[in-house]
Amino acid sequence: MSGDVHVRICESLGVKFPRANHPLPGILPLFSLKQMVRHGYIKEPEAEVLSAVRYHNHLLFDFVLKRTLRVDQKGFSTAPFQTRKFFLSGSG
């Protein structure tokens, strides 16, 4: 059983949840692109592209969002997104 409160409550009532198959950004009410634009985390043209991507592919949306987000001109490290050398070296 998960440590999340909502899961514990529901499971205590006999409800069993399947494992998540979408990243949290794929759940529309949790992430508002309009709010991200308002706060300056993404730009309006980026929000339009992200909205289209989100509609078609939640996993790709999660990836593109993480590559796009900026807070005080800082974003996520690019290292986790640059894995080509790892896969070409046969280290997998």
- pLDDT one-digit tens code per residue, 56-80: 888 888 889 988 999 898 888 888 7
pLDDT at residue 31, as a whole number: 74
Flag the least confident range among 57-61, 83-87, 88-92: 88-92
For residue 83, name the pLDDT band (cuts at 50, 70, 90). Answer: confident
pLDDT at residue 29, as a whole number: 64
In the predicted model, is pLDDT for residue 26 greater than 80? no
In the predicted model, is pLDDT for residue 21 greater than 60? no
| Contacts within 8 Å (CB) and 24+ apart, 17-23 | 22/58, 22/59, 23/58, 23/59, 23/62
Amino acid in position 60:
L
